[in-house]
Amino acid sequence: MKFVATPLAGVYVIDIEPVADERGFFARTWCEREFREQGLKSELVQCSISFNIRRGTLRGMHYQDKPYEETKLVRCTRGAIYDVLIDLRQESASFMQWVGTEMSADNRRMLYVPPGVAHGFQTLEDDSEVSYQISEIFHPESARGVRWDDPALGITWPQAVSVISERDRCYPDFSR
């Protein structure tokens, strides 16, 4: 796997390194040792998927607060998404900055999301599916979010939002 640092501290785009032959290819998408060697949290306790029927669906911006902060490894396994991460760690040099990247079933790209970084995405195609590997069990009492269109964050989404949950639409603006 290739780990590519982003402008957000501790956030990585991860590309597979396929070994191809006449059958197709084989590639690792997870290796505890390689993650540990990069200094990344390598414990996984839960895997989830998100299936999204319509293009333009927006999910986010989510994170889990202390004491149940979580690390996520996110990958689009069907269709395509525009994935956004926001650094909400006040001590971070990239505090309040965001980064976005296109992930698809075709490019097989993954994102490593450390604790304190909010995550969300917008589907670019109908019938898009996202897979999550997560370091912490979900604790509803620690679930938090910030509004996807908070003017202080200035996120540029690639298209108009066609579907969004009431919860995601009504998150408050982020307050320092």
d(CA 148, CA 169) in angstroms, rounded, equals 7
33 within a domain of the structure (yes/no): no
Q: In a 10 Å sphere around its CB, with 0-12 CB exposed, 13-18 middle and 19+ buried, how is residue 150 labelled? A: middle
Domain count, the chain: 1
36 within a domain of the structure (yes/no): no
Domain that holds residue 143: 44-169
Active site residue 132: yes
Of these residues, 63, 68, 132, 171, which one is catalytic? 132
6 within a domain of the structure (yes/no): no
Q: Concatenated DSSP letters for 113-148? A: E-TTEEEEEEESSSSEEEEEEESS---GGGEEE--T
Of these residues, 62, 63, 82, 119, which one is catalytic? 62
| Reported pTM | 0.94
pLDDT for 83: 98
d(CA 176, CA 165) in angstroms, rounded, equals 24
Active site residue 139: no
pLDDT for 64: 96
103 within a domain of the structure (yes/no): yes
Tens digits of residue pLDDT in 70-109? 999 999 999 999 999 999 999 999 999 999 999 999 999 9
Check which CATH number belongs to the domain holding 117 and give it.
2.60.120.10
Q: Could you list the mean pLDDT of each consecutive 10-residue stretch along the chain, which spans 176 residues? A: 96 96 95 94 94 98 96 98 97 97 98 98 98 96 96 96 97 83
Structure tokens at 62: 């989510």
24 within a domain of the structure (yes/no): no
Task: Answer yes or no: are the C-beta atoms of 149 and 86 closer than 8 Å.
Answer: no
130 within a domain of the structure (yes/no): yes
pLDDT for 176: 67
pLDDT for 175: 78
pLDDT for 174: 84
112 within a domain of the structure (yes/no): yes
53 within a domain of the structure (yes/no): yes
